């Protein structure tokens, strides 16, 4: 095995991460990086889009988009003037299980930015003028997305694999459901679901822990929403049966996007780490692993062809994606299936495993050098209840994964005759 | 952080720049070549970008998989980019592995094979890359507008090249281009991160010192200082959204006008960032055009693009039209705002705000070592490193009068190209 080129003590761990829970149900994690003049705030909180009323699909994202449209203290223009004049940024969006936010500022502006984040969460007014404007922007975005072959292949894949599960529905909803959503709906949804219970925030960068804790305690840590309702549990997914083939025809497209996949192991379960190592070999390592070698390097069929292992608290997928000329679509599908058959029938080589273990460990300091990388890692520690020493344990965890573990997990999750194959592009011949 | 830049030039003409940053045990190594689509001739567009792809295909000494795996197994990442002005290759990896990056880059500076079968495989990969781009109406619109924004200068061509050229280029074209432009005297090596400069210099001498520089035949286009003649190009295609792109001539990166233009861009369409890797941006919701076009519901989105280039390039504004408005109404409102900034001086407070935003954008990505390596070479491609270190200071020296004069000089209604992408079957819109 390749020698480890850095000390694990340089990675975030219990001695330099501060974790504090607050009475309102929120948790703050912070790690200083005093060489940075900037501070990054990243977090997630309920609600997500998974529990929307079918008539109002897209409401969680619409609500998230409207939070910065004006508050009781600031009209739209005043609010953004204050944020942009600081040279700061604030973006809020909705995912399946949570609303996420990301904000950044120079270190001297942290208390002010945190106060503004609290203000947009607690005092949005959903002004009528902005409501109509943002609705038009969302509808335009959906119409642009409807011409995007990669997005349409993804959505076709999600529909086919998740079927009746809420994850089959695009998080942004549909044009006809967005049209049904009223300002009153947004106000009601905000009041009932957006709240600090379950909120997790990471603050990283040029700020000492006590300063970050104090600023958080005076802002988001003091937010209470007595009306906040808990989110229900997600239903289970239905098992896949056979090969499901879906194609979305889009006229006048030079390239077809392709997604082939199945369900992934549970992110918090014992199969996930072997799957992560195996996925590197399958379609990530170097120039996109075995898939890249076969589809791009040898056959020259695609500019990109790789595998992706999803993560999350709900059900996730394990996919191979590629962008190919329409006339090469079937050839690409055949090559990918050949690689999947090999992945599920043979042990990976000792050399592959050794190189990938080494890559995953060596990548840790690179992925954690920035405030953004550290903040994302801290959020994941809390999201998956991994403990503050998890990142430092990763090198030994990767070292413990065996070739047999990878083959077992590959066979469990990838079954050659039980797949979803989705594509979007010109009509199939 | 040590702001000092260490510079060496080897006897063969290779310039080495080192910036020590000891915040993380990481180093980023960049090799920049003075070759891009700007140096290509008609019929041979896309050569530089294709050569860049071939640089990952192996040398006499090292196979493609050796190159790839030697970086990946360290947890490092590597990639390359081709622009109109330059081609660059980088590796970011643990600091103790710097030698691996230098060995690889020195080897492929002269030793790439360009095997005929690999050339053919890569032809379809690049055609596939182009097809992916063609799927996007904004790529189609930009390609059509840039073709009209320059009469002859190669900035009129997309870096990836025209499809007919990609089908016709030969292995000899590619190899000749590579052998001519890839040599120490046409290269710059930039190292940023946790580096011992003496050790880095010794390694650079060891791996690059014996590479001979040959006479370089560099194709240099005549800069097109004069603006484009007014023209409108109309495209039609699938979808429901109408896009508009407007392009004017912009000053070259190494000119006084560029800094006033950067402030002008920031006020019109919001601050843009020089960061290549992460760092995030700042929204443009209080920029003049957002307020005048999006807030007034003539457009649903607006953004601007200005690049620091060797020769005068273009400044473009992209608009997504509001579905209930016409293109002519939208363009008329755009013209009104441009007239305003040409006729009434901006305030010092607006400039101060733009300067603070530029400063913040640098701060946001300064924790990323890879960005530092990028900035060093990027600034040197059209100026020198002092362009980068003095960037915020030079923005702060811009006066309201300079912004007005720059707007008058460049943003002329009779000297621009307008491109409109209209969905099939749709009218230009109604008011």
Q: Which of B121, B122, B238 sits opposite A250 (nearest CB)?
A: B238
CATH number at residue B65: 3.30.830.10
Beta bridge partners of B112: B59
CA–CA min distance A282, chain B (Å): 14
Examine the domain organization and report whether B259 and B304 are in the same domain.
yes
Examine the domain organization and report whether B76 and B187 are in the same domain.
yes
Of B329, B330, B307, nearest to B320 by C-alpha is: B330
**C-beta atoms of A143 and B240 within 8 A:** yes
Q: Is residue B135 within 8 Å of residue B128, measured between CB atoms?
A: no
Boundary (domain end) residue, out of B208, B243, B278 = B208
Examine the domain organization and report whether B201 and B259 are in the same domain.
no
Integer distance in angstroms from the first to the last C-alpha of chain B? 56
Omega cis (within 30) before A47: yes
Boundary (domain end) residue, out of B176, B208, B240 = B208
Q: Which of A255, A299, A371 sits opposite B135 (nearest CB)?
A: A255
B3: pLDDT confidence band, cut at 50, 70 and 90? low
Q: Which of A36, A105, A147 sits opposite B238 (nearest CB)?
A: A147
Interface test with A, best of B116, B120, B132, B352 (most A CBs within 10 A): B132
Chain B residues closer than 8 Å to A287 by CB: 56, 68
Q: Tell me the C-alpha distance between A174 and A138, whole Å.
A: 10
Domain around B336: 231-423
Q: Which of B26, B121, B285 sits opposite A369 (nearest CB)?
A: B26
Q: Which of A84, A253, A362 sits opposite B76 (nearest CB)?
A: A362
Q: Determine contact: B43 vs chain A, CB below 8 A.
A: no
- Write out pLDDT tens, residues B125-148: 999 999 999 999 999 999 999 999
- Write out pLDDT tens, residues B53-80: 999 999 999 999 999 999 999 999 999 9
Domain-embedded: residue B190: yes
Interface test with B, best of A1, A3, A5 (most B CBs within 10 A): A5
Chain B residues closer than 8 Å to A80 by CB: 283, 285-286
Return per-residue pLDDT of chain A as tens, 429 residues.
446 677 888 899 999 999 999 999 999 999 999 989 999 999 999 999 999 999 999 999 999 999 999 999 999 999 999 999 999 999 999 999 999 999 999 999 999 999 999 999 999 999 999 999 999 999 999 999 999 999 999 999 999 999 999 999 999 999 999 999 999 999 999 999 999 999 999 999 999 999 999 999 999 999 999 999 998 899 999 999 999 999 999 999 999 999 999 999 999 999 999 999 999 999 999 989 999 999 999 999 999 999 999 999 999 999 999 999 999 999 999 999 999 999 999 999 999 999 999 999 999 989 998 999 999 999 999 999 999 999 999 999 999 999 999 999 999 999 989 999 999 999 998
Examine the domain organization and report whether B188 and B300 are in the same domain.
no
Examine the domain organization and report whether B313 and B381 are in the same domain.
yes
Q: Determine contact: B356 vs chain A, CB below 8 A.
A: yes
**C-beta atoms of A87 and B94 within 8 A:** no
For A43-67, give the secondary structure using H, E and C: EEECCCCCCCCHHHCCHHHHHHHHH
- Sign, CA torsion B350/B261/B285/A217: negative
Chain A residues closer than 8 Å to B371 by CB: none
Domain-embedded: residue B216: no
Q: Is residue A98 within 8 Å of residue A44, measured between CB atoms?
A: yes
Chain A residues closer than 8 Å to B323 by CB: 136, 139-140
User: What's phi and psi for A108, nearest 5 deg?
Assistant: -70, -15
To which residue do tokens 């990481």 refer? B26
Domain-embedded: residue B324: yes
Domain-embedded: residue B214: no
Give the three-class secondary structure for A4: coil
Q: Tell me the C-alpha distance between A85 and A87, whole Å.
A: 5
Examine the domain organization and report whether B142 and B252 are in the same domain.
no
DSSP state of B219: -
- Write out pLDDT tens, residues B214-246: 999 999 999 998 888 889 999 999 999 999 999
Examine the domain organization and report whether B265 and B396 are in the same domain.
yes
B428 pLDDT exceeds 80?
A: no
Q: Is residue A74 within 8 Å of residue A82, measured between CB atoms?
A: yes
Of A358, A347, A355, nearest to A403 by C-alpha is: A347
Domain-embedded: residue B431: no
Q: Tell me the C-alpha distance between A27 and A379, whole Å.
A: 10
Output the pTM of the full model: 0.94
Question: In chain B, which among 271-330 make CB contacts under 8 A with chain A?
Answer: 278, 280-286, 291, 294-295, 297, 300-301, 320, 322-323
Examine the domain organization and report whether B394 and B338 are in the same domain.
yes
How far, in Å, are B250, B291, B296, B335 from residue B341 at the CA level?
16, 14, 18, 10
- Write out pLDDT tens, residues A384-421: 999 999 999 999 999 999 999 999 999 999 998 999 99
Domain-embedded: residue B429: no
Of B36, B41, B107, nearest to B71 by C-alpha is: B107
Strands A302-309 and A99-106: unpaired
Domain-embedded: residue B109: yes
**C-beta atoms of B65 and A286 within 8 A:** yes
**C-beta atoms of B278 and A372 within 8 A:** yes
Q: A81 to chain B: nearest residue by CA?
A: B286
Examine the domain organization and report whether B247 and B189 are in the same domain.
no
**C-beta atoms of A370 and B368 within 8 A:** yes
Question: In chain B, which among 98-137 make CB contacts under 8 A with chain A?
Answer: 120-132, 134-137
B431 pLDDT exceeds 60?
A: no
**C-beta atoms of A362 and B73 within 8 A:** yes
Q: Which of B128, B285, B367 sits opposite A303 (nearest CB)?
A: B128
**C-beta atoms of A144 and B124 within 8 A:** no
In chain A, the domains with their CATH numbers are 8-222 (3.30.830.10), 243-425 (3.30.830.10)
Domain-embedded: residue B221: no
Examine the domain organization and report whether B332 and B196 are in the same domain.
no
Q: What are the residues whose beta carbons fall under 8 Å from the beta carbon of B408, sequence distance 6 or more?
A: B342
Examine the domain organization and report whether B334 and B198 are in the same domain.
no
The domain total for chain B is: 2
Of B265, B70, B318, B42, nearest to B169 by C-alpha is: B42
Q: Determine contact: B97 vs chain A, CB below 8 A.
A: yes
Chain B residues closer than 8 Å to A76 by CB: 285
- Write out pLDDT tens, residues A60-114: 999 999 999 999 999 999 999 999 999 999 999 999 999 999 999 999 999 999 9
Examine the domain organization and report whether B181 and B253 are in the same domain.
no
CA A54 to chain CA centroid, Å, is: 23
Q: Is residue A13 within 8 Å of residue A363, measured between CB atoms?
A: no
**C-beta atoms of B322 and A136 within 8 A:** yes
Strands A256-263 and A99-106: unpaired
Chain A residues closer than 8 Å to B121 by CB: 297-300
Q: Which of A38, A86, A302 sits opposite B128 (nearest CB)?
A: A302
User: What's phi and psi for A46, nearest 5 deg?
Assistant: -65, 155
Q: Is residue B224 within 8 Å of residue B152, measured between CB atoms?
A: yes
User: What's phi and psi for B383, nearest 5 deg?
Assistant: -150, -125
Q: What are the residues whose beta carbons fall under 8 Å from the beta carbon of B128, sequence distance 6 or more?
A: A255, A300, A301, A302, A303, A323, A324, A325
Question: In chain B, which among 157-216 make CB contacts under 8 A with chain A?
Answer: none
């Amino acid at each position: 095995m390749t020698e480890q080129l850095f000390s694990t003590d340089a990675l975030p761990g219990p001695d330099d991460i501060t974790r504090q829970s607050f009475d309102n149900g929120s948790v703050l994690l912070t790690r200083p990086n005093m060489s940075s003049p900037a501070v990054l705030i990243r977090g997630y909180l309920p609600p997500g889009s998974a529990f929307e009323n079918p008539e109002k699909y897209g409401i969680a994202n619409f609500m998230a988009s409207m939070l910065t449209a004006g508050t009781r203290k600031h009209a739209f223009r005043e609010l953004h003037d204050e944020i942009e004049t600081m040279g700061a940024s604030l973006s809020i969006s909705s995912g399946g299980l949570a609303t996420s936010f990301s904000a950044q500022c120079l270190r001297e502006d942290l208390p002010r930015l945190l106060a503004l984040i609290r203000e947009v969460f607690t005092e949005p007014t959903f002004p009528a003028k902005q409501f109509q404007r943002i609705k038009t922007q969302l509808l335009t975005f959906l119409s642009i997305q409807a011409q995007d072959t990669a997005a349409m292949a993804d959505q076709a894949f999600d529909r086919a694999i998740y079927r009746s599960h809420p994850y089959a529905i695009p998080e942004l909803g549909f044009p006809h459901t967005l049209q049904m959503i009223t300002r009153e709906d947004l106000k009601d949804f905000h009041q009932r679901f957006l709240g600090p219970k379950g909120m997790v925030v990471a603050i990283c960068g040029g700020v000492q822990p006590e300063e970050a804790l104090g600023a958080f305690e005076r802002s988001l840590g003091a937010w209470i929403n007595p009306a906040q309702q808990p989110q229900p549990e997600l239903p289970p997914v239905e098992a896949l049966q056979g090969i499901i083939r879906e194609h979305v025809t889009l006229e006048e497209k030079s390239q077809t996007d392709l997604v082939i996949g199945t369900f992934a192991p549970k992110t918090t379960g014992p199969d996930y780490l072997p799957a992560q190592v195996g996925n590197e070999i399958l379609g990530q390592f170097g120039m996109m692993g075995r898939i890249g070698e076969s589809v791009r390097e040898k056959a020259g069929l695609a500019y990109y062809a790789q595998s992706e292992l999803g993560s999350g608290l709900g059900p996730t997928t394990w996919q191979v994606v590629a962008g190919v000329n329409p006339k090469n679509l079937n050839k690409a599908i055949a090559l990918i299936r050949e690689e999947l058959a090999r992945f599920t029938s043979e042990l990976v080589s000792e050399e592959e495993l050794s190189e990938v273990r080494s890559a995953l460990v060596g990548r840790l300091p690179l992925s954690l050098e920035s405030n953004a990388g550290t903040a994302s890692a801290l959020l994941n520690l809390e999201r998956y209840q991994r403990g503050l020493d998890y990142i430092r344990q990763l090198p030994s965890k990767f070292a413990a994964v065996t070739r047999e573990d990878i083959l077992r997990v590959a066979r469990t999750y990838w079954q050659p005759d039980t797949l979803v194959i989705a594509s979007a592009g010109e009509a199939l011949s | 952080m040590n702001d000092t830049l260490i510079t060496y030039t080897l006897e063969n003409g290779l310039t080495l720049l080192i910036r020590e940053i000891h915040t993380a045990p990481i180093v980023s190594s960049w090799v920049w070549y003075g070759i891009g689509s700007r140096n290509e001739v008609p019929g041979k567009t896309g050569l530089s970008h294709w050569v860049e792809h071939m640089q990952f295909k192996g040398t006499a000494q090292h196979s493609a998989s050796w190159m790839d795996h030697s970086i990946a197994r360290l947890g490092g990442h590597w990639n390359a980019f081709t622009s109109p002005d330059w081609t660059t290759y980088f590796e970011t990896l643990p600091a103790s592995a710097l030698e691996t990056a230098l060995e690889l880059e020195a080897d492929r500076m002269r030793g790439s094979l360009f095997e005929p079968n690999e050339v053919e495989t890569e032809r379809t990969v690049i055609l596939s890359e182009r097809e992916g781009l063609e799927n996007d109406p904004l790529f189609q619109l930009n390609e059509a507008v840039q073709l009209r924004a320059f009469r002859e200068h190669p900035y009129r061509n997309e870096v990836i090249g025209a499809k007919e050229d990609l089908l016709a280029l030969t292995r000899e074209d590619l190899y000749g281009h590579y052998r001519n432009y890839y040599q120490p005297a046409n290269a710059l090596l930039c190292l940023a991160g946790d580096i011992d400069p003496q050790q880095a210099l010794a390694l650079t001498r060891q791996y690059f010192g014996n590479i001979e520089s040959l006479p370089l035949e560099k194709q240099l286009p005549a800069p097109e200082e004069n603006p484009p003649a007014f023209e409108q190009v109309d495209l039609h295609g699938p979808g429901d959204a109408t896009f508009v792109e407007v392009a004017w001539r912009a000053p070259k990166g190494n000119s006084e006008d560029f800094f006033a233009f950067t402030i002008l861009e920031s006020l019109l369409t919001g601050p843009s960032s020089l960061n290549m890797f992460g760092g995030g941006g700042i929204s443009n919701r209080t920029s003049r055009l957002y307020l005048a076009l999006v807030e007034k519901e003539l457009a649903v989105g607006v953004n601007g693009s200005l690049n620091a280039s060797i020769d005068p390039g273009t400044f473009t504004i992209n608009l997504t039209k509001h579905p209930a408005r016409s293109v002519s109404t939208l363009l008329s409102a755009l013209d009104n705002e441009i007239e305003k900034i040409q006729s009434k001086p901006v305030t010092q407070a607006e400039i101060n705000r733009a300067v603070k935003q530029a400063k913040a954008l640098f701060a946001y990505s300064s924790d990323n070592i890879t960005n530092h390596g990028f900035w060093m070479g990027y600034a040197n491609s059209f100026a020198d490193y002092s362009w980068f270190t003095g960037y915020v200071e030079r923005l702060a020296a811009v006066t309201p009068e300079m912004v007005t004069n720059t707007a008058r000089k460049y943003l002329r209604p009779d000297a621009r190209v307008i491109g409109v992408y209209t969905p099939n079957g749709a009218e230009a819109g109604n008011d």
